[in-house]
Structure 1
Amino acid sequence: MRILFIHQNFPGQFKHLAPALAARGHEVVALGINQPSVPTPGVKVVLHRPQFTAAAASTDPDTTALHELRKKMERGMSVARALEALQRSGFTPDLVCAHSGWGEAFYVKDVFPQAKLLVYAEYFYQALGGDSHFDPEFSRPVEGDQRRLHTKNLHLMHALAHADRGLSPTLFQRDRHPPALRDRIEVIHDGIDTGRFSPDPQAFISLRNAGIRLTAQDEVVTFAVRELEPYRGYHIFMRALPELLARRPNAHVIIVGGSGASYGAAAPTGTTWRKVFHDEVAQRIDPQRVHFVGKLPHATLTQLMQVSTVHAYLTYPFVLSWSLMEAMSIGCLIVASDTSPVQEHIRHGENGLLVDFFDPQALANTIAQAIEQREQLRELRTAARSHVVANLDLNGTCLPAQIDLMSRLLGAPL
């Protein structure tokens, strides 16, 4: 079979699926905008370069929303031109698997009407129950919000309307979609390599700048996100630190993440969210015990989680981070926000502990108590890993289910 993946940052969510299909002898091609940092075995990567129309200066939110829609259509047009070039070169796919989040899936069926189209449906925007206006500190409803959210969803609805099937990694993400679209989406997680992400009692982490070496016998609180920003609760975590450090005078806090903004608004001009919320509590925390380590290589991050006493994870009602699932697979003791995407995989008191996202005092108290009761709560660690192994294992569950979905679409085994 010939299989085409489309993702602006390939491999993205297809990092396991694409090479697995290539290893089965299928011809696999990927189309993206950015050159992958490492090659994907067996996959030929083709790049396209969308050309965007410059936006006229405007402070009108509706005008901005329309410009964003135009950019997504222009991405789709760029993909269509690249697909036509592939077609002229002799490549016509049997199946196209496209991430629809940026508009790339707009015109796939126009070029390859006979190909089956599987759309990765990552997130659908709504005013209620999701990230929009969840945190009143940073977002308040204004006139026209619903219009703008509808506009943000147009390309997503278009993709699913033309797709043969949709794919979402969690029930929360699927159920953000309207019922008519929701019924077209199957829920299969991207998968966690539970062999790679597993406990290691001998693990250690060295903080060279601080001159310390930490093991699982130390008190280590970890917080790891792509970027230190409000969407992932960085502000709440920092506000919990003065109380936590006072309660646990031997604890070290290791904060992983960049200083940019992946989701939501950027920090005020001239600063970063990392600095804003660090400065807010800087006079009340011990800098010798709070360690900002930036972005870490995946192997180092795994070692860090293996020595973690408590791993904190906070998020708006939004896309769930792979890092949470990996931490659970490693057997971390999780203290997480009691938000809908988290609730899907963590049950309070069974395989983790949940706290109100907006309550830094409760977060500090829960982490401090979890450290104090680390031996009594060991069963939560075991249950966290067991949940991932039973439901989200890459090779035993998720990858076979993804390939089975594709086989059903094609009417032939892959």
Structure 2
Amino acid sequence: MRDNFRDAMPGAYLAGYEMPADAMLTHPWLDSLELAVRRGQAVYRGLLDLKKRGFIPDVVLVHPGWGEALFVKDVFPACRLVSFCEFYYQAEGQDIGFDPALPTSEDDKLKLRLRNMVQLQSLSCMDVGISPTQWQRQSYPSIVQDRIEVIHDGIDTDTVKPDPAARFQLPDGRWLTSNDEVITFVNRNLEPCRGFMSFMRSLPDLLRARPHAEVLILGGDSVSYGQGLLNMTWRQALLEEVGSQLDLKRVHFLGKIPYTNFLKMLQISSAHIYLTYPFILSWSMLEAMAAGCVVVGSRTAPVEEVILDQENGYLVDFFDTDALVRIVASICSARESQAQIRLAARQTILDKFDLKRHCLPKQIALLEQGIN
């Protein structure tokens, strides 16, 4: 910043700035924008080809965040453009800066704001949006919220349901059932955003408190959200930190398994742990509730939108590992007393998130609205 008083009015302070030497080069913060524009251009050309062949869509359903929605209306101005409004980035108050152990730089925050440029342009063209939860809708600017309907993707409760006869086979060949004490934890990939650090740091005390419990950990070693580590995975890093304190014969890292096995794992769970930053709600938490699990969830949005503490599950501070151990140990020590929680958890999904009975009919009605 340089001072420049040449044209300043009396009493006014005029501060100037120097243009950077590389001002004519593409800024690295625009990498995601560049990719989005190229996606949008590719979709634009594909839509032109469809139009030449006589295809005129009534409805186009698209995610506004990646570029595909940018030029849809330029080809089909009369179509009903429906945007899946999953998440709007914020530099504060959501996932960014939530975990003090993983601080965010000022440059990271500024770069994040630019990632919304594609969404803002896409949202300006949409006729209506769909967000899975109220919290996700509220992440969007107020100027578009009144055009976003809250309809969840839906849980197939005919498939995801309790099964007292379920059996799950461990990698060592042993079989577990609901008669065993089983603690479950699920991430798409094991990473801090979904509470993997907090969970792993609670395990030594949890295993000491429940000496007969088996812990099933489902998830891969890639990165879905946030940053990875150099030269190791988050699983390796946390095992280096607490692995010497664990009875690894009772802690089972399952990686990624077939969906039918995932359901069996939920169906035998004594207590299911779901932790997340203030971020997109995972299907797995709702599936766990639909399967009749006793879910211990983090007291973060949008978990609080679904779980009412001690009514259809339990809530715990994301960083309070002592409380997490205490609540899970209490659930495991009195599993028979959790029957009402299990019933209430499933009923919540049936009442609000059932795919066939609630969510899908609302989705179809939204898509058909205004079509002649």
Distance of 1:354 and 1:170 partners within structure 2: 18
Q: Percent identity?
A: 46
- Structure number with greater Rg is 2
Distance of 2:370 and 2:272 partners within structure 1: 40
From 113, 128, 137, give the equivalent of 1:165.
128
Q: Does 1:264 align with 2:226?
A: yes
SS where residue 200 of structure 1 aligns? coil
Structure 1 residue identity aligned to 2:94: G
Q: Does 1:310 align with 2:274?
A: no
Alignment of 1:9-408 (within 5 A): 63-140=27-104, 142-207=105-170, 209-268=171-230, 270-408=231-369
> Once the 2 structures are TM-superposed, how far is the Cα of residue 64 of structure 1 from its aligned partner?
2.7
What's the TM-score once normalised by structure 2's chain length? 0.91
Q: Which runs of 5+ in 2 are unaligned?
A: 1-21
Q: Which position in structure 2 is the counterpart of 1:41?
A: none
Distance of 1:146 and 1:272 partners within structure 2: 24
Residues 91, 110 of structure 2: 8 Å contact kept: no
Residues 266, 291 of structure 2: 8 Å contact kept: yes
Distance of 2:138 and 2:93 partners within structure 1: 11
Distance of 1:223 and 1:143 partners within structure 2: 33
What's the TM-score once normalised by structure 1's chain length? 0.82
Distance of 1:325 and 1:64 partners within structure 2: 38
Residues 210, 288 of structure 1: 8 Å contact kept: no
Q: Which runs of 5+ in 1 are unaligned?
A: 1-57
Residues 75, 104 of structure 1: 8 Å contact kept: yes
> Once the 2 structures are TM-superposed, how far is the Cα of residue 294 of structure 1 from its aligned partner?
0.5
Residues 256, 295 of structure 1: 8 Å contact kept: yes
Residues 65, 116 of structure 2: 8 Å contact kept: no
SS where residue 69 of structure 1 aligns? helix
Q: Which position in structure 1 is the counterpart of 2:18?
A: none
Distance of 1:287 and 1:143 partners within structure 2: 40
Distance of 1:283 and 1:329 partners within structure 2: 35
Distance of 1:144 and 1:349 partners within structure 2: 41
Distance of 1:145 and 1:315 partners within structure 2: 21
> Once the 2 structures are TM-superposed, how far is the Cα of residue 215 of structure 1 from its aligned partner?
0.2
Distance of 1:339 and 1:409 partners within structure 2: 37
> Once the 2 structures are TM-superposed, how far is the Cα of residue 344 of structure 1 from its aligned partner?
0.5
> Once the 2 structures are TM-superposed, how far is the Cα of residue 154 of structure 1 from its aligned partner?
1.1
Distance of 2:269 and 2:289 partners within structure 1: 11
Distance of 1:145 and 1:298 partners within structure 2: 36
Shift in CA distance, 144/279, structure 1 to aligned 2, threshold 3 Å: closer
**Residues 17-64 of structure 1, C-alpha deviation per residue, up to 9 Å, x if partnerless?**
xxxxxxxxxxxxxxxxxxxxxxxxxxxxxxxxxxxxxxxxx9xxx933
Structure 1 residue identity aligned to 2:35: K
**Residues 72-111 of structure 1, C-alpha deviation per residue, up to 9 Å, x if partnerless?**
1111111111111222222221110001221111111111
> Once the 2 structures are TM-superposed, how far is the Cα of residue 279 of structure 1 from its aligned partner?
1.7
CA RMSD of aligned residues (A): 1.4
Distance of 1:87 and 1:280 partners within structure 2: 58
Residues 88, 116 of structure 2: 8 Å contact kept: yes
Q: Which position in structure 1 is the counterpart of 2:15?
A: none
Deviates more, 1:400-409 or 1:243-252: 400-409
SS where residue 83 of structure 2 aligns? strand
Distance of 2:357 and 2:161 partners within structure 1: 15
Shift in CA distance, 247/218, structure 1 to aligned 2, threshold 3 Å: same
**Residues 347-375 of structure 1, C-alpha deviation per residue, up to 9 Å, x if partnerless?**
10110011110112211111111111221
Residues 228, 261 of structure 1: 8 Å contact kept: yes
> Once the 2 structures are TM-superposed, how far is the Cα of residue 144 of structure 1 from its aligned partner?
4.2
Distance of 1:353 and 1:64 partners within structure 2: 43
SS where residue 237 of structure 2 aligns? helix
Equivalent residue pairs, number: 348
SS where residue 103 of structure 2 aligns? coil
